Structure 1
C-alpha cells in the first residue's frame, strides 16, 4: 500500500510502498478516505514530546485523525462490519483498565497511539485496535472530511468546552489561540450558548473566529500575558473576567494569557501541549490561583460515549467540522503541509483525501 513514512526528526517524509498491516481477533482494518495533518503530527516530526512519550519507532507512518471504511474485521469484532464508515480516536483505549471501566477511555492506562506505537493514517490502510470500542460508526450525513476532523482536534475541543470546562448557556468563555483546535472550541462554545471571546495574533484568524460565533476578538501580538488577560476582562460583565478560559495552543504565553483572563472562581482548560520552548513545564501564578479559587485542568481527547452527543450535533447541523477544512491535499504533499503548519501558514484543517498519490 502507499504511505507517507516519517524517517526521523525533521527528516524527509518519504512517499513509498509499505506492507499491508495485519489485524488481530479484536481489530478492524480500514481503508483511509481522509486523514488530517495535525499540529501534533508536526510536534512528532519536530522531535518534541520526549518528556511525555518515548520516541516513535522509525520508520513510522504518522496520522491520527483518520476516517475510512471497514474492509476487514477480526473474528471477535461485533460492533462494526465490513463496509461501515468509521472514525477513530487518536488514542486506542483498551476497554479493560480502571479508567476505561469508569467511562474515561480517553485516560486509558494502556492507551495505544497510532503514529507513536504503531502506523497511523497517512496511508491507504490502517488498523483500529479493539475495534468494538475504538471504531466509531458514522451517521450517513457525516462526510469523510468531517470524519477526519473529528479524530483529534474537534472532539478534543468539544470535550474541553462541554465536559472539562462545563460551559453553561450565557457564560463567557475566552479561547486563546484560533488555530484548528481553537476555532473548533469557538464553534462548539457558540453552539452551546456561550459568549465567546477569541484571542490570537493573526487578524485573519480572528475574523474567522467572528464568523464562527465569537462576539469579541483580541489581537494579543504586542501585549504581555497579563495585559491580554486584562483585554479579555474588558469584554466581560463588569470587567470581572471570563467564567472559562481555554488555552488552545500550549505554552507559557498562551496559558498565562488565559489564566489572567479568568474571573474569581473561573475555570481554565488547557488543550494545547508545549513545544521545546517550555519542555512541558509552565510557571503557574499559584497565589492568584489560591486567592481567587481558580480551577486548572487539562483535556486530552474524549471518552468513547462522548461521540454520541458530538455526532448527533454534527448530523443535526448544529456543528460543522468539515467547514473548518481549509485545504485538501494528496498523500505525497504531506511534508509541505508540515512546513506550512510550522510557519502558521495554515488556517483551519489540512486533510489528505487522496491516499494513492
Structure 2
C-alpha cells in the first residue's frame, strides 16, 4: 500500500510503498477512505510524543470500510462503514470499567503508538470496543473529523465544560477543533467569543456560530477603541442579542492581556467557559485570564513543554482547570444524534481535500499555523 512515512523527527516525509497491515486477533484493518490532517500529527512528527518509534506513519482521525477482522471480533464484518475515536481503549482496565475509555490505561492510538491512517489501510486494536458505525447518509470526509477534533471538542464543551444555554464561551484558536467547539457551543445555546490570529479563521468561526470575534494578531496598541465594546458588554449584561458582531483587535504579546480584557469586556465580566483549542502558552494563559468568577478553563490543545498558569487568579476566583482528551466510543450517540438532526454540521468545517502526495508539505506547514477549517486526505485519490 501507499503511505506517508518519516524516518526522523522533524525531517522530510515521503510517500512510498509499505506492506499492508494484517488484523490483530481482537482488531480490524480499515480501508481508509478519508483521514483528517490535524495539528496533533505535526506534534508527533516533531517528536513531541514518546510513544512513536521510527520509521513511522502518522494519522489518527479516520473513516473508512472494514477490510478484514481478527478471529475474536464479534460485532464487525468486512464492508461495514466505520469511524473510530483516536484513543482505542482496551475495554478491560479500571478506567474502562468506569466508562473513562478516553484515559484507558492500555490505550492505543493510530498514528502514535502504531502506524496510522496517512495510508491506504490502517490496523486498529480492540475493534468491538472502539469502532463506531457510520450512517449511510454521512460522507467519509465528514466522518473523518469526528474521531479527534469534533469528538474532542464535543466532550470538551458538553462533558468536561458542562456548557449551559445562555453562558458565554470563549474559544481560543479556530482551527479544526476550535471551529468544532464554536459550532457545538452555539448549538447548545451558548454565546460564543472566537479568538484567533487569522481573519479567515474568524470568518469561519462567525459562519458557524460565533457572536463575537477577537483578532489577536493586530499591530501593538491594545484593544481597538473604535469597536463598540460597551454596546456588546451592555448586551451581555442584559442577555439581549447584539445586532452586529464586533471584531476586536488586540496585541500579540506574551501573555496577551489585551485579548483577555477584550473577552471580559464583551461578555460583561468574563467567559463562563473558555477553551484553549490551539495549545500554546499564550492561548492557555489568555483562556484562564478571560474567565469570570468560578469560570471553567478546558485545556484541549497539547502543551508538550507545559505552561506557567496565572494561579493568582485561579484561587481567589475559584476557577476550574480541566483537561479534555478525546471521547470514548460509547459517548458518540449524543453527538451523532445532533449531527443527524442537523443541529451540528461538521461537514461545513471541511475546507480542503488532498491526496497522499500533498501530505508532506501540508503537514510541515502546520508548524506555522493550524490552518483554517479541516483538511481531509483521500488516500485512494481525491
In the other structure, the counterpart of 1:229 is 260
Tell me, in whole angstroms, the C-alpha distance in 1 between the residues paired with 2:380 and 2:116.
13
Q: Which residue of 1 aligns with 2:63?
A: 67
Equivalent position of 1:40 in the other structure: 40
Shift of 1:9: 1.2
TM-superposed CA distance for 1:226, in Å, is 2.2
Q: Which of the residues 96, 106, 114 maps onto 1:100?
A: 96
Matched residues, number? 347
CA contact (8 A) 2:199 2:215 kept: yes
Residue by residue over 1:102-128, the C-alpha shift from the partner in whole angstroms, topping out at 9 and shown as x without a partner, is 001001011112122211111111112
Higher alpha-carbon deviation: 10-19 or 181-190: 10-19
- How far, CA to CA, are the matches of 2:346 and 2:75 in structure 1? 25
How far off its partner does 1:345 sit? Answer: 7.4
2:202 maps to 1:206: yes
Counterpart of 2:281 (choices 252, 259, 265) is 252
SS at match of 2:315: helix
Contact 2:118 2:379 in 1 (8 A): no
Shift of 1:228: 1.2
CA–CA distance in 1 between the matches of 2:302 and 2:176?
14
Q: Give TM-score, length-normalised by structure 1.
A: 0.94
Work out whether residues 138 and 311 of structure 1, in 8 Å CA contact, stay in contact via their aligned partners in 2.
Answer: no
> RMSD across aligned C-alpha pairs, in angstroms?
1.4
State how far apart, in whole Å, the 2-side matches of 1:295 and 1:31 are.
41
Return the alpha-carbon distance in structure 1 between the equivalents of residues 307 and 43 of structure 2. 18
Which stretch has the larger CA shift, 298-307 or 316-325?
316-325
SS of the residue corresponding to residue 34 of structure 1 reads strand
Which of 312, 325, 334 is the equivalent residue of 1:287?
312
1:124 paired to 2:155? no
Q: Which whole-Å CA distance do the structure 2 matches of 1:346 and 1:257 have between them? A: 20
Q: Under a length normalisation based on structure 2, what TM-score does the superposition of the two structures give?
A: 0.88
Which secondary structure does the structure 1 equivalent of 2:329 belong to? coil
Q: Alpha-carbon deviations, 1:242-290, whole Å to 9, x = none?
A: 1101111112211111111101010000100125xxx1x2111223211
Contact between 1:139 and 1:311, CA under 8 Å: does it hold in 2? Answer: no
| Alignment check: 8 A CA contact 1:87 1:137 kept | yes
Alignment partner for residue 329 of structure 1, among 338, 343, 354? Answer: 354
Distance 1:345 1:254 in 2: 13
How many Å separate the matches in 1 of 2:370 and 2:113?
Answer: 29
Q: Secondary structure of 1:338's partner?
A: helix
Structure number, greater radius of gyration? 2
CA contact (8 A) 2:274 2:288 kept: yes
Deviation at 1:37, TM superposition (A): 1.2
Q: Distance in 1 between matches of 2:194 and 2:381?
A: 38
Query: In the alignment, what sits opposite 2:188?
Result: 192
Separation in 2 of the partners of 1:23 and 1:223?
Answer: 48
- The yes-or-no answer on 1:84 pairing with 2:80 is yes
Work out whether 1:349 is the aligned partner of 2:345: no
Find the counterpart in structure 1 of residue 270 from structure 2.
241
Structure 2 counterpart of 1:272, from 260, 278, 301? 301
Q: Distance in 2 between matches of 1:12 and 1:255?
A: 30
Q: Of 149, 160, 175, which aligns to 2:171?
A: 175
1:150 aligns with 2:179: no
Q: Which has the larger displacement, 76-85 or 104-113?
A: 76-85
Give structure 1 stretches of 5+ with no counterpart.
none
Give the whole-Å Cα distance in 2 for the aligned partners of 1:33 and 1:7: 25
Counterpart-to-counterpart distance in 2, 1:123 and 1:177: 28
CA shift at 1:316, angstroms? Answer: 1.8
Aligned-partner Cα distance in 2 for 1:127–1:162? 30
Q: Give the whole-Å Cα distance in 1 for the aligned partners of 2:300 and 2:12.
A: 28
Match of 2:238 in 1: none
